[in-house]
Amino acid sequence: MAELIAIAGKGGVGKSTFSSLLIRYLLQRVKPILAVDADPNSNLPVLLGLKPSQTIGQILEEFMGAKLKIPAGMSKQSWLEMRISQAVVEGKGLDMIVMGRPEGTGCYCSANNVLRDFLEKMRENYKYVVVDNEAGMEHLSRRTEGKIDRLFIVSDATVKGLRTVANLLELVKELQLEIQTKYLILNRTNSPEGKIKQMLDNLDIQFLGAIPEDHLILEFDLEEKPILNLPESSI
C-alpha cells in the first residue's frame, strides 16, 4: 500500500513547486509514484512535464449529466471507475491524475465516494501518492483521500502565512482527519528569526526547515520547464 503524502497551504506560497521538488526527490529513490493535482489553480502538470487530457471534475460533470450514456451491462460505478482510470496520465515511474473542479451545482456526494474508493484501490499500485491540494483543505474535508500518512503544510515566512497554518491545523482537528505526521515547510526564505520564530514555537506541528530562494527554479517556472529536469546541483 502506497504512503499517502498531502501538501497544503495558502495560495501563492509555492505548494506546487514544493510538491514537484518532493516528487523529484522520491523518484530518485523509489518508483512508481502517483501525483494527484487537487488544485484547480495549480500548474503541477507543467512542473512535472505531463499533459492530462481530462480532469476528474470533467468526468464527474459528465457522470452527473442528464445525457450520460452507459453501455448495456455496465453499472454506473463501473463506468465511473473506467473513466477515472482513463484520466491517469502515465510517465516514466510517475503517473498523474488531475482533479479539476466540477462546474455543476448538483450534489456530487455519491460520485466523490466512488472517487475516494477508487483512489484507495490505486494506492496498491504505487510506492507513494503525493497530493497537491488547493488553497485551504477542501479536498481533505471531503475525505476523498482517506488516511494521510504525512501532511506537509507550506508557508511563507510572514505573520499572515503562519496564521493560515494555525487555521489549517485547527481545521484538521475539527474535521478529525486521520493524519499520522504533520510537517511545516517555510518556502523562499532562510532560517526564521524574531517574531516568526516565536510563532513557529507556538504551532502544534513539526517545523522541518526552510527552503531558500532558488533563481534556477524561478527561471524554470518562467520558461515552463519541468522541475524534474533541474540539475543535481539545485535544491
Q: Provide the pLDDT confidence category of residue 23 given band limits of 50, 70 and 90.
A: very high
Decide if 57 is inside a domain.
yes
Query: Each residue of 48-71: b (16+ CB within 10 Å) or e?
Result: bbbebebbbbbbbbbbbeeeeeee
207: domain CATH number is 3.40.50.300
pLDDT score of 89: 96
Quick check: is 143 in a domain? yes
Question: Which helix (H) or strand (E) element contains residue 86?
Answer: helix 76-86
Rounded distance between C-alpha atoms, residue 131 and residue 86, angstroms:
19
Please tell me the predicted confidence (pLDDT) of residue 102: 64
For range 128-144, the mean pLDDT: 75
Q: Which pLDDT score, from 0 to 100, does residue 81 have?
A: 87
Mean pLDDT of all residues in 167-189: 92
The tally of domains found in the chain comes to 1
Q: What pLDDT shows up at residue 61? A: 85
Beta strands in the chain (DSSP E): 3-8, 33-38, 89-90, 94-98, 128-133, 148-155, 179-187, 206-211
Residue type, 110: S
Let me know if residue 234 belongs to a domain.
Answer: no
Cell output for 141: 474535508
Above 80 in pLDDT, residue 135? no
Lowest mean pLDDT among 21-30, 61-70, 88-97, 213-222: 61-70
For residue 235, is it within any domain?
A: no
Tell me the residue range of the domain where 187 lies.
3-229
Has residue 12 been placed in a domain? yes
Tell me if 114 is assigned to some domain: yes
With respect to residue 116, please indicate whether it lies within any of the assigned structural domains. Answer: yes
Looking at residue 93, its pLDDT comes to 96
- The whole-chain average pLDDT of the chain stands at 88
**How many residues does the structure list for the chain?**
235
Distances (CA, A) of 28 to 23, 46, 55: 9, 19, 27
